Amino acid sequence: MFCLCALATPARAADIPVPISQIRPLVEWVETRMNLMLLPRPAIYISDTAIQRLASFDADSDGTRKIGAYHSGMIYISSDYWQPGNIADDSVIIHELVHYAQDIGYDTYACANAREYEAYNLQNAYLAQHGERPIIDADDLAALAHCP
């Protein structure tokens, strides 16, 4: 279980911006669940170069498929992966939107695990709401609930 969100990666000219209108239902879902308006709206890019450096991994895969990443107000999605409307793909955006909400919100987090716990918990909730299996199982999620 990884979500590496620590390396600075500014948007590049080759990155393709995703119009916020394309993910509005996802933004609104996170706003409702976190009781927080996501304002200003996050910047979202299709960017494989950023993904290569800011990698989060699909817990259901072999651990190497790079899907999405978040850093400093910007969300990056892999062009190979994201199919808008695909529940599993959209759940990755949910996860990254939670990280954005964490950055603009007032809550404080004791450690990186606490941020990941919240993000994976809401990602699981989004998947469950749509009848899909969790991205992370209960034991791994519980492990994230505690700071090292």
Q: Does 3 bind Zn ion (CB under 5 A)?
A: yes
Residue with the CB atom nearest Zn ion in the bound state = 3
CB nearer to Zn ion: give 14 or 103. 103
Min separation Cβ 123 and Zn ion, Å? 9
Write a three-state SS string for 74-102: EEEECCCCCCCCCHHHHHHHHHHHHHHHH
Nearer to Zn ion, 90 or 116 (CB): 116
Nearer to Zn ion, 14 or 74 (CB): 74
Nearer Cβ to Zn ion, position 15 or 96? 96
* The two structure tokens encoding residue 104: 């603009």
Within 4-63, the residues that bind Zn ion by CB under 5 A are none
Among 13-21, 37-45, 103-111, 117-125, which window interacts with Zn ion (CB under 5 A)?
A: 117-125
119 part of the interface to Zn ion, by CB under 5 A: yes
Rounded Cα gap, residues 78 and 31, in angstroms: 24
End-to-end CA distance of the chain: 15
Rounded to an integer, what distance in angstroms lies between the CA atom of residue 140 and that of residue 133?
Answer: 14
Q: In the chain, which ranges are E strands?
A: 16-17, 43-46, 68-71, 74-77
By the criterion CB under 5 A, which residues form the site for Zn ion? 3, 116, 119
